[in-house]
Amino acid sequence: MKTTTLRLAPDVPDLQGLGADCFEDLMGWTEGLVGGPRAELVDEGKGWKLWRAPLPGTPDADGKVSERPRGAGTGWIQIKRFEGGGLGSAMKARLGQPRSSSFAGKEWNLLCSLREVGVPTPEPLAIGELGAALFSPASVLVTRELEDVQPMEAWLAERTDGRSRARLSRAFGVFFRRLLSAGVGPLSLTPSSIVVGTEDPSAASDCAFVQLAPKVEGALRFGDLPDVCLVSLPEGLGLAELDAAAVLSDLGRSFDQGSV
């Protein structure tokens, strides 16, 4: 019998909070995932498939709730399942930085590194690996799906005024500064890698801390920037030592190819 390992985020009380009983449920090898019947295939590539599924207690399209929440909240999660992927890719993940024992583990480690320096990403909730001496042949990563976000083009189409565009420009500056401080590369981002928050941070707030924050005449107020979020990790991303020339080169190639 092969062994499996599971790791949960601190705010996930147990695997049942995600609607599963075991590693096999998360991998889709069994039919035990509560949200399985409503799961949707989002994307796939060599050796992986990305699914979205509702957490227990999440209403269906008609607003009906068929089970109670189990401790991890409600809403949708994304489940990235890795099987295979090729020996070369496995060795890069195992020996590169961050050193990881599975493809899911590499993405988990990168998400933690990015979030540590303030880069908004989907929240990692769980990781599971099938035991192996060198590198796991099957692994799964569960993240909480981002809410209240839009693709950048849609965000701009709804906000054509100069102030909104200036806010987004400054928000991108903050986003890339944090991204660079995380020490990851190559920084080749596609439009599908980035989304923008739709909540209006310039609206009146009921938060006392925001209300009492010092105001500077003519300047953007505290928190007056939309969230720019990295919704998916670019292929081949890892920890890297990047100088300014390498960064400009990577981003330049992205723009040339029609990317963000």
Rounded CA separation 224/201 (Å): 5
- The DSSP-derived string for 53-120 is EEPTT---TTS---S---SS-SSEEEEEEEE---HHHHHHHHHSSS--SSHHHHHHHHHHHHHHTT--
Rounded CA separation 102/20 (Å): 21
Rounded CA separation 9/99 (Å): 20
Output 193 or 12, whichever has higher pLDDT: 12
**How much of the chain, in percent, has pLDDT values that exceed 70?**
76
SS3 assignment, position 200: coil
Structure tokens at 107: 């993405």
Number of H helices, E strands in the chain: 7, 11
Structure tokens at 71: 């401790």
CB atoms within 10 A of CB 195: 22
89: Cα within 13 Å, side-chain hemisphere: 18
For residue 245, what are the β-bridge partners? none
Output 97 or 123, whichever has higher pLDDT: 123
**pTM of the full predicted structure?**
0.79
Q: Which tens digit of pLDDT belongs to each residue from 221-242?
A: 435 788 889 888 766 666 555 5
Q: Average pLDDT in the 178-188 region? A: 72
Q: How confident is the model at residue 246 (pLDDT cuts 50, 70, 90)?
A: low
In degrees and rounded to multiples of 5, residue 214 shows phi and psi of -60, 140
What's the burial of 78, exposed, middle or buried (CB within 10 Å: 0-12/13-18/19+)? buried
Please calculate the CA angle 18-23-24 and round it to the nearest 5 degrees. 110
Cβ within 8 Å of residue 84, ≥6 positions away: 46, 47, 137
